[in-house]
Structure 1
Amino acid sequence: MSEGTSIRRSSSRAASRKPKKNQLPIALAVVVLIIAVGIFASTRSANAAIFWITGIAFGFVLQKARFCFTASMRDPYLTGGTSLTRAVLIAFAITTVGFTAIKYGYMVKGLAIPGMSYVVPISLTTAVGAVMFGTGMVIAGGCASGTLMRVGEMFHMNMISLLFFIVGSLIGANHFGWWKLNFISNGVKVFLPDYLGWFGAVAAQLTLIAVLYIVAAVYEKRRGGGGGH
């Protein structure tokens, strides 16, 4: 194929492309709608307005960052890229410091440590549930946050995933008491400050996160990955 023919074909393809529609009016309409809903929510409840604003901001960040927990575990195997994996580890490190500071502050003041009811026993059911949930996320193409993000982008398959996500959550919530009584409660509760002290628990967890971060970086370099989600 001659160079002239290639140039003519490229020019022909460029000319046949439809000009992009101006999306500015749509964007302005969406912003106005968001503000209007926020104002309406504030008349009902201050918390409702805060939840609305936080949800919009969180969704915007997720969509722009393409942040997805499933991709953070899947990409290293598919593309060799670990950028999302390392991003999740950084998030874990930040939340480790933040939540520990909050809990330690309550303990120093002699108050009940918040979130202790969520320290659930660890057992074989933890591993089984993790495998089932992880398998489901990969089949669905995203975790809960990734699914919600793609529903906002009008991905039809993720709309189906969201539907069954809701159905499964309702069924699980209805039967959770039975599972908790017969399986979950048979495990062992592990609250690291009880074993290592507050400083030791934070140091141990941050050390583990740092090791995983280094491993992820080295793994990407050796695989020659870097393909994003």
Structure 2
Amino acid sequence: MDQPENSLKSRIKSSAKPAAKKKNQLGYGIAVLIIAVIFGIFLANIKAPLAVRWMFGLAFGFVLQRSRFCFTAAMRDPVLTGSTSLLRAVIIAIAVATVGFSAIQFAAFTAGKPIPGNISPVGIHTLIGGILFGIGAVIAGGCASGTLMRVGEAYTMNMIALVFFIVGSAFGAYNFGWAKANLIKSAPAIFLPDVLGWPVAFFGQLLMLFAIYWLALWWDYRKAA
């Protein structure tokens, strides 16, 4: 009885395809690095800040690709997969930005200087834009940063999404005058330190972010249980 079973196993092993050997892409990586350095030197000869922006863009793109960071995934994953790791990363990023920008703005406020930063109006245009962008991001499978990252990885769908991203941005820029006159102009520009005071606005926002972070962590453990 053992002989037929052994012959069957040997036939299965012989018919099974060998695992595809992974290609060594080290050469491609070195070539891309050399091209990036040469192009950076070219930009530095034109204008030094261009080379700095080029290096920052490369570094930011590398971090983005390795971390798989995407704002759409941060809002989508808790519902689809139950994971809140990206959402918690976004919350931490907002908290760090809150501390940094608040320090810069408060320093200008105490010095009697104009407070830096754009305080954009909030109104129906914000709601409409958020809904449209959210629908598009879900269909495309990523936000602007996630789309750019996957374009660099040669995802065809995201290449198509990038084309329509540009088309939509151009259409929005063309009609921005109408939107500004009819929707944005009458919307209030709310700066929380003016409404609540600096201590309440600053610590209140950090407490709110901490509460959302705790809820996200609870949701993650709840789904994992």
**What is the CA-CA distance between 1:109 and the residue it aligns to?**
2.6
CA distance in 2, matches of 1:192, 1:6: 72
Q: Which runs of 5+ in 2 are unaligned?
A: none
Shift of the 11–147 alpha-carbon distance from structure 1 to 2, 3 Å rule, reads farther
Could you tell me which residue of structure 1 aligns to residue 134 of structure 2? 134
Q: How does 1:5-84 map to 2 (within 5 A)?
A: 9=12, 13=16, 16-84=18-86
Q: CA deviation at 1:221?
A: 1.6
Q: Give the aligned partner of residue 218 of structure 1.
A: 218
For 2:198, give the aligned amino acid: W
Which one-letter code corresponds to 2:45 in the other structure? Answer: T
Cα displacement string for residues 65-89 of structure 1 (whole angstroms, at most 9, x for unaligned residues): 0000000000011011111010100
TM-score (norm 2): 0.91
Shift of 1:132: 1.2
After superposition, the C-alpha distances for 1:26-51 in whole angstroms (9 at most, x for unaligned) are 11111111111111111111221111
- The one-letter amino acid paired with 1:205 is Q
Q: Following the alignment from structure 1 to structure 2, what is the Cα–Cα distance between the partners of residues 95 and 3?
A: 65
Residue 175 of structure 1 and its aligned partner are, at CA, apart by 1.4
Of 4-13 and 89-98, deviating more is 4-13
Show the counterpart of 1:186.
Answer: 186
Kindly state the Cα deviation for residue 120 of structure 1 after the two structures are TM-superposed: 1.7
Query: 1:112 deviation in Å?
Result: 2.0
In structure 2, how many angstroms separate the alpha carbons of the residues matched to 1:85 and 1:6?
A: 48
Match of 1:90 in 2: 92
Deviations 1:104-141 (A, max 9, x none): 222233322221xx212212221121111111100011
Structure 1 stretches lacking a partner, 5+ long: none
Deviation at 1:24, TM superposition (A): 1.2
The answer to whether structure 1 residue 108 and structure 2 residue 115 are counterparts is: no
Q: Distance in 2 between matches of 1:3 and 1:79?
A: 43
| Whole-angstrom CA distance in 2 between matches of 1:36 and 1:152 | 19
Partner of 2:197: 197
Amino acid of the residue matched to residue 204 of structure 1? G
Runs (4+) off by over 6 Å: 2-8
Aligned to 1:119: 119
- For the pair shown, which has the larger CA radius of gyration, 1 or 2? 2
Q: Residues 111 and 160 from structure 1, CA distance in 2 versus in 1: closer, same or farther, beyond 3 angstroms? A: same
Whose relative contact order is higher, 1 or 2, with alpha carbons under 8 Å and at least 6 apart?
A: 1
- Counterpart-to-counterpart distance in 1, 2:14 and 2:218: 43
Secondary structure of the 2:122 match is coil
Count residues with an aligned counterpart: 221
Q: Could you tell me how far apart the structure 1 residues matched to 2:180 and 2:6 are?
A: 70
Q: Deviations over 1:180-217 (max 9, x none)?
A: 11011222211011012222211011111001011111
- In structure 2, what residue type is equivalent to 1:151? V
**1:5 to partner: Cα distance:** 6.2
Hey, what's the Cα distance between the residues in 1 that align with 2:186 and 2:171? 22
Gap change, CA 1:217 and 1:12, over 3 Å in 2:
farther
Matched position secondary structure for 2:175: helix
Alignment match, 2:144: 144
Q: How large is the RMSD of aligned CA atoms in angstroms?
A: 2.1
| Matched residue SS, 1:171 | helix
